[in-house]
Homo-oligomer: A and B are copies of this chain.
Amino acid sequence: MISIDTSTAPAAVLSPELADTDFIKEMNRQARALDSYGTYDGWPVERVLAPYVVTKEQRRQIPVIGDPDDVLISRVKAFHNAIAALIEKECGLMAVPVINLTHEGFGRALITVGKLVVLDRTLRDVHRFGFETFSKMKDEADKHLSVALEIIGKYPEVAGL
C-alpha cells in the first residue's frame, strides 16, 4: 500500500453540477461494479471516486517501482469502462474495453466497436494513475469520447461489423 501525506492531500471537491453529469454517474457505477466485497456500500460518490484525484504533489510521492497493485488496475479499468459505456450509450453499438498491462505499469488501453478501434492509448506509470481534479477527469473522458464518436461517424460500416 502507498501512504500519502494527508497534509498535502485535501479532499477532492465534487460540485453538484459535475456529480450530475453522465460521466460521473457512470464512473460511480463502474467503480462500484468492480468493488467485489461491497466496501463502497453506503459511501457517497465523492468518497468512492476520491482515489481518482491525485494532485501533482501526491503524484511525486508515489514511487514507480514494481507492478501496480490490483486496486490501482481496477481504477484504470473503471475509467475506461465508463468511457466505453458512454460510447455505447451515444452510438447504440457495443463498445468493448481491453486493458493490457505488462510490467512496471506500462501497457495499452483499447476500446473497440465492431471491427473499429475507437480508442488506443499507451499507458505509462500506471502507479500514478489519477487526475488533478474531478473536472479534469471528466474533460479527459469527454475528449476520448468525442474522438471515438467522430471515428465511428466516419466509418459506421466498420463499427457495425
- Oligomeric state, in copies: 2
A58 sits at the interface (CB 8 A): no
Give Cα A158–Cα B158 distance, bound, in whole angstroms.
8
Question: Contacts A155-B155, A158-B158 known; A108 to B98 CB distance under 8 Å?
Answer: yes
A112 sits at the interface (CB 8 A): yes
| A 97-108 to B, binary, CB cutoff 8 A, 1 in contact else 0 | 011100000001
Chain B residue at minimal CB-CB distance from A119: B115
B116 touches A158 (CB 8 A): yes
B115 touches A120 (CB 8 A): yes
A interface, CB within 8 angstroms of B: 98-100, 108, 110, 112, 114-118, 120, 151, 155, 157-158
